[in-house]
Structure 1
Amino acid sequence: MNPYMAYEAMNTKIMTKNNGVFDKKKFEKLLKCDSVDQVVDILLNEYHFNQIIEETISQDLHRDDLEILFRRYEVLEIENILHYFSGPYREFLRVFLMEFEIYDLIMILRQIAKGKDSVGMDIHFIHSERNSKLPYEKLIGSKSFVQFIEHLKNSPYYVPLKTVNDRDIIKRQFHTEMKLQMLFYKTLMIKSNTLSTRDKPVVQELIGTKIDGLNVQWIYRAKKNYNISPEEMLIYSIQGGKRLGYGRLKELCYAKSLEEIKGLSNQYLKVDLFATDYEPAVVMNFDKYMNACLNDRKYSGTIGVVVSYIFKLDMIVKDLFAVTEGIRYQVPKEHLKQYLISVKIRDQRPEVK
């Protein structure tokens, strides 16, 4: 028996959440909507978004507002999960909230880079207020990158970021954002080492699969769109992948062409992420592959069930966002269905009479 995890209660909770959040019937209802107002009504009444919405929202809901709303939904779900854990398990799962802290930190940094005032932007924050200890008032008041970093002292972000000294604002922003992403996954892996011998390999396999996909996408984009050296590609590749260790990452980074990267990716990951060269499709292909991995029953009876649910939350958010934006811009429903990751909606065949 695990003293840090109320497994039976948590397992029941996750099953209930999976049946509710990933319910095909709910998505079918969403796809039948003709306006954002109708979508909002379903979000409030069937996805319980009323817990995170303080004001009435309607057709005027903008793209940025949607992203904030959906990300806060993820945060709320993770906060609710934490109640079922204690000790090293709770500390491990709390790391997932770092991702939302990082989102807010990057938002402030981008304002600083533009020379704009960050005061008042806290209404756009998505971090967990009950679990974050960062001095947000001081961070918002920062007038420079150096001042911002100094306000992060005694936080896990200080050491990685204090070494960023590039005077070029664009490059500095790039280095900062990459270091923050690397820190998040490094911390996840470190904290996973405190779990039981049963849970540790399960968790590291799930996180490692996610890391593999992020690395391939990063290397592909870096090679295709930016003037980034193979050395820098390798430096900013995340360690801890399931199939892509240091040697394979180096092969990918030093590949001579995009075609070579695609070939190596297919060979090592055993899945074709590049069926089309359209970058959003590459991301979607990996998400669908990842979703299939998360549904593997071998994680049953372990904390892998919880980690799978947290990763799948990101996919449900992408689906909700895609559907809402699609309805706003009157994208054909058949087209929208192709972009769903977390659920498969098939047209009902007419009855044969």
Structure 2
Amino acid sequence: MGSERRFAAINTKIRVLKSKLLTKKDYINLIKKDKVKDQISYLKENTVYKDVLEDTGDTENIQEVETQLKKYLIYQYEKLIPYFTGEYRKLFKSILLRFEIEDLKLYLRALGRKEDLNKIKKATLLKESYSNINFDKLSKSKNLEEFIENLKGTLYYNVLKPYSKEEYKRILYYMEMNLDRLYFNLLKAQSLKLDKKDSLLFGEILGKNIDLLNIEWIYRGIKFYNLSSEELINYTLSNGYEFNYEAIKEMCYSKEERLIEIVLSTRYNFLFDTEKDVDLYMERRIERYLYYQFINAFKKGKLDITLSIAYMHLLEYEIRDIISILEAKKYDLSLMETKEYLVRKIEGSDE
């Protein structure tokens, strides 16, 4: 099927969905509300999140709202999948695995805190029809070894099996890192099965994301955790866009100053070429860079895979911004302070 036929209908659908994203005015109105409760009411009364938040009642529980908004995000993915066939449909189903991995991480953390896993099951995001996991079985796990055995037959068993007899607190982080690596490798493998043009386009999007995650991991590992160069390399992600293995290796074996020099010479120099607090705003800078990459994709409006990927990321960043706005209100931050933590750049105050 040619690109024109494949993407004509879905791109029309995507543009309609994008038109329903929050406006700058919505952002300002949300920030200016006096209480978290008022902000949630605004979302219910004035935005597309009305239906998904309907069952939250008069809650001020930000975590509950976040869970419902993420379910809305997944629902949007599910609405797009039927527009695709063959390897394209498999790719979007692979993207959904990220939420399954997030569910797995919830379980792993709860297991470490010795919480009732049956309660965690209620907070899982992905529907059973898209999931590879029997969460009923998983919820009955008494310890890490049993938990991993209950994943037998899934994508995740071989990834977590080496940790089954390790001390839990020491290896939780590494289990999560390996799950993330599995996810990115699956996406790369599936993207190679697309038509050549779309494979290259998706590879660029994925590769830039991987580059930025690797920079963040290496920088924080050197500055805050004093990790060895070998440990840094072991947990970097492959298939980056700008950095090959040798470039990653050089960064991992660098001191902080040299790492910054290397990054300043790349397209990602914005991470360190700033007067603002590098550590405080690094994650936001990464997300904002990607956000505007996706905004540019809409401006180009080509009949390829980019608009579908762009919309889903823009929606995800909007949901992150909503949660940031609620959290900022909870801690009584000003309008100007709140805007500093948002992915989307909001100029002016509309006062």
Q: Distance in 2 between matches of 1:283 and 1:344?
A: 17
Q: Distance in 1 between matches of 2:67 and 2:350?
A: 34
Unaligned regions of 5+ residues in structure 2, if any?
none
Output the amino acid matched with 1:265: V
Deviations 1:176-212 (A, max 9, x none): 1000010111111011011111211000000111111
Query: Retained in 2: the 8 A contact 1:219–1:233?
Result: yes
Q: Tell me which residue corresponds to 1:266.
A: 264
Deviations 1:85-104 (A, max 9, x none): 12111110111211111111
Deviations 1:139-166 (A, max 9, x none): 1111121211121122111121112356
Q: Distance in 1 between matches of 2:259 and 2:344?
A: 27
Structural mapping, 1:206-221, within 5 Å = 206-221=205-220
Q: Distance in 2 between matches of 1:240 and 1:47?
A: 38
For residue 185 of structure 1, give the secondary structure of its aligned residue in structure 2: helix
Distance 1:311 1:5, change over 3 A: farther
Q: Tell me which residue corresponds to 1:296.
A: 296
Q: Tell me which residue corresponds to 1:236.
A: 235
Q: Distance in 2 between matches of 1:308 and 1:153?
A: 34
Query: Retained in 1: the 8 A contact 2:271–2:286?
Result: yes
Q: Tell me which residue corresponds to 1:312.
A: 314
Q: Distance in 2 between matches of 1:3 and 1:155?
A: 34
Q: Distance in 2 between matches of 1:166 and 1:345?
A: 52
For residue 67 of structure 2, give the secondary structure of its aligned residue in structure 1: helix
Distance 1:126 1:4, change over 3 A: farther
2:342 corresponds to 1:340: yes
Query: Retained in 1: the 8 A contact 2:4–2:303?
Result: no
Q: Distance in 2 between matches of 1:342 and 1:17?
A: 18
Distance 1:270 1:120, change over 3 A: closer
TM superposition score normalised by structure 1: 0.91
Query: Retained in 2: the 8 A contact 1:18–1:309?
Result: yes
Identity of aligned residues (%): 27
CA offset at residue 117 of structure 1? 2.7
For residue 118 of structure 2, give the secondary structure of its aligned residue in structure 1: coil
Q: Tell me which residue corresponds to 2:46.
A: 46
For residue 83 of structure 2, give the secondary structure of its aligned residue in structure 1: coil
CA offset at residue 299 of structure 1? 6.5
Distance 1:329 1:91, change over 3 A: same
* Number of aligned positions between the proteins: 347
Q: Which structure features the higher share of helix residues?
A: 2
Distance 1:36 1:293, change over 3 A: same
Q: Tell me which residue corresponds to 2:162.
A: 163
Distance 1:326 1:6, change over 3 A: same
CA offset at residue 316 of structure 1? 1.0
Deviations 1:307-346 (A, max 9, x none): 1222223311221111122223332112222332235342
Q: Tell me which residue corresponds to 1:177.
A: 176
CA offset at residue 265 of structure 1? 1.6
Q: Tell me which residue corresponds to 2:123.
A: 124
Query: Retained in 1: the 8 A contact 2:328–2:338?
Result: yes
Q: Tell me which residue corresponds to 1:26.
A: 26
Query: Retained in 2: the 8 A contact 1:4–1:86?
Result: no
- 48-57 or 5-14, which moves further after superposition? 48-57
- 44-53 or 232-241, which moves further after superposition? 44-53
- 222-231 or 197-206, which moves further after superposition? 222-231
Distance 1:12 1:29, change over 3 A: farther
Q: Tell me which residue corresponds to 1:115.
A: 114
Q: Tell me which residue corresponds to 1:36.
A: 36
Output the amino acid matched with 2:133: L
Deviations 1:74-119 (A, max 9, x none): 2122112212112111110111211111111111111222333312
TM superposition score normalised by structure 2: 0.91
Q: Distance in 1 between matches of 2:73 and 2:290?
A: 18
- 9-18 or 273-282, which moves further after superposition? 273-282
CA offset at residue 19 of structure 1? 2.1
Unaligned regions of 5+ residues in structure 1, if any?
none
Distance 1:121 1:226, change over 3 A: same
Query: Retained in 1: the 8 A contact 2:294–2:314?
Result: yes
For residue 33 of structure 2, give the secondary structure of its aligned residue in structure 1: coil
CA offset at residue 294 of structure 1? 1.8
CA offset at residue 278 of structure 1? 4.4
Query: Retained in 1: the 8 A contact 2:62–2:326?
Result: no
CA offset at residue 6 of structure 1? 4.4
When the two chains are superposed, the root-mean-square deviation of aligned CA atoms in Å is 2.2
Query: Retained in 2: the 8 A contact 1:75–1:128?
Result: no
Distance 1:46 1:10, change over 3 A: farther
